[in-house]
Amino acid sequence: MDQPPISDYGFLSDCRSGALVGRDGSVDWWCPDRFDAPSVFGRLLDPAGGYWRLAPLGPSRVERAYQPDTLVLRTVHHTPEGSVAVTDALAAELGARGHQLGMNSPAVLLRVVEGLGGRVRMGLDFAPRPEYGLLTPYLHEQPDGAVVAVAGPVALTLRSNGPALRAGRDRVRQEFEVTAGQCVGFDLAYAPVHGEPPARMDPLTTLAETVQAWQAYRGLHHYDGPYVEQVRQSATVLTGLTYTRSGAVAAALTTSLPERCGGDRNYDYRYSWLRDFAMTMRAFWVAACPTEANRLFVWAARAIGRIGDEPVPVLFGLEGERDISEHELEHLRGYAGSRPVRIGNDAWRQRQLDVPGEVISAVWRLHDYLGETFDEELREMVVGLAEQVAATWRLPDHGMWETRDAERHHLSSKVLCWSALHRAVQVAPRLGERADPRRWAAIRDEIRDTVLRDGWNDRIGAFTGVFGSAELDASALLLPMSQFLPATDPRMRATIDAIERELGNDDGLVRRWDSDPAGFVLCSFWLVECLLLAGEEGRARRLFEQVLGHANDLGLFAEQVDLRTGAQLGNTPQALSHIGLINAAWRFADLSSG
Distance of CA 551 to CAs 22, 276, 336, 356, 562, Å?
Answer: 15, 21, 21, 32, 12
Question: Mapping DSSP to helix (H, G, I), strand (E, B) and coil, where does residue 123 land?
Answer: strand
Q: Are 307 and 380 in contact (CB under 8 A)?
A: yes
Instruction: Give the CA angle between residues 507, 508, 512 to the nearest 5°.
Output: 115
How many CA atoms lie within 13 Å of 409's alpha carbon, on the beta-carbon side? Answer: 13
Q: Write the DSSP string, 452-465.
A: HHHSEETTTTEE-S
CA dihedral 375, 380, 383, 384 (to 10 degrees): -160
Closest CA to 437 of 424, 449, 450: 424
Closest CA to 418 of 380, 379, 446, 456: 446
- Strand ranges for 23-67 from DSSP E: 26-30, 51-56, 61-66
Closest CA to 44 of 67, 10, 73: 10
Before 573, cis peptide (omega within 30)? yes
Closest CA to 213 of 295, 100, 73: 100
Task: Name the burial class of residue 474, with classes exposed (0-12), middle (13-18) and buried (19+) by CB atoms within 10 angstroms of its CB.
Answer: buried
| Cβ partners under 8 Å of residue 181, min gap 6 | 115
Separation CA 261–CA 264 (nearest Å): 9
Q: Write the DSSP string, 496-524.
A: HHHHHHHHB-TTS-B-SBTT-SEEEHHHH
Q: How many CB atoms lie within 10 A of CB 141?
A: 14
Amino acid at 442: A
Angle at which helices 290-304 and 376-392 cross, to 10°:
60
CA dihedral 442, 448, 453, 458 (to 10 degrees): -170
Separation CA 417–CA 420 (nearest Å): 5
Separation CA 471–CA 494 (nearest Å): 14
Span between the terminal Cα atoms of the chain, in Å: 49
Separation CA 521–CA 559 (nearest Å): 6
Closest CA to 4 of 411, 486, 557, 21: 21
Domain limits of the chain? Answer: 6-218
Mean pLDDT by 10 residues, the chain (594 residues): 89 97 98 97 98 97 97 98 98 83 90 98 98 98 95 96 93 97 97 84 95 91 90 94 92 97 94 88 77 80 86 93 96 96 96 94 84 85 96 97 95 98 97 96 98 98 98 98 97 98 96 96 98 97 98 98 96 97 92 62
Separation CA 171–CA 173 (nearest Å): 6
Kind plus residue range of the DSSP H or E element containing 117: strand 108-127
Q: Are 566 and 508 in contact (CB under 8 A)?
A: no
Please report the pLDDT score of residue 288 as a whole number: 67
Q: Are 270 and 252 in contact (CB under 8 A)?
A: yes
Q: Which pairing describes strands 108-127 and 82-90: parallel, antiparallel, or unpaired?
A: antiparallel
Please report the pLDDT score of residue 592 as a whole number: 64
Instruction: Give the CA angle between residues 156, 157, 163 to the nearest 5°.
Output: 140
Question: Mapping DSSP to helix (H, G, I), strand (E, B) and coil, where does residue 535 land?
Answer: coil
How many CA atoms lie within 13 Å of 270's alpha carbon, on the beta-carbon side? Answer: 27
Backbone φ and ψ of 312, nearest 5°: -70, 130
Residue 513 DSSP class = B
Closest CA to 131 of 154, 148, 147: 154
Q: Are 333 and 42 in contact (CB under 8 A)?
A: no
Q: How many CB atoms lie within 10 A of CB 494?
A: 15
Tell me the chain's radius of gyration from C-alpha atoms.
Answer: 25
- Helix, strand, coil % (nearest 5) of the chain? 35, 20, 45
Question: Mapping DSSP to helix (H, G, I), strand (E, B) and coil, where does residue 21 land?
Answer: strand
Pick the CATH number of 6-218 from 3.30.428.10, 2.70.98.10, 1.10.10.10, 1.10.3720.10: 2.70.98.10
Separation CA 256–CA 254 (nearest Å): 7
Q: Are 571 and 254 in contact (CB under 8 A)?
A: yes
Q: Write the DSSP string, 59-116.
A: --EEEEEEPTTSS-EEEEEEETTEEEEEEEEEPPPTT--GGGTTTT---EEEEEEEEE
